[in-house]
Amino acid sequence: MVSATDIKTQDHPALRGPGCQARMQAGLMVGLVIGVTIGGLYGGSQALRYGVSGREFVRVVGRSMFSVGGVFGTFMCVGALLRC
């Protein structure tokens, strides 16, 4: 009979947790979501501050969302890679 102390956590795949690629992907997705949200808030406030409207408003906010989201997502992905 096998006791609970005989099972090593490193040998059992269910007890290891997510792999490095899964952690990087999760870090990227979390970073993208947070970055796009912050970029939308910041870009929207700046566009309203300078009186931009219409297509220009959508363009300014979209550019801000994608740039901040991409940068923050990249940093979160690299941070997850360093923790692997």
Confirm whether 12 is domain-assigned.
no
Residue 2 maps to a domain: no
- Residues contacting residue 42 through CB under 8 Å, at least 6 positions apart: 64, 68
pTM: 0.74
Q: How many domains does the structure of the chain reveal? A: 1
* Residue numbers of the domain that contains 68: 28-83
Residue listed under structure tokens 């912050």: 38
Q: DSSP letters along 51-81, please?
A: T--THHHHHHHHHHHHHHHHHHHHHHHHHHH
Say if 7 falls within a structural domain: no
Contact by Cβ (8 Å): 71, 28: no
Split at pLDDT 50, 70, 90, the class of 7 is: low
pLDDT of 58 over the 80 cut: yes
Closest CA to 41 of 63, 56, 61: 61
Is 64 within the bounds of a domain?
yes
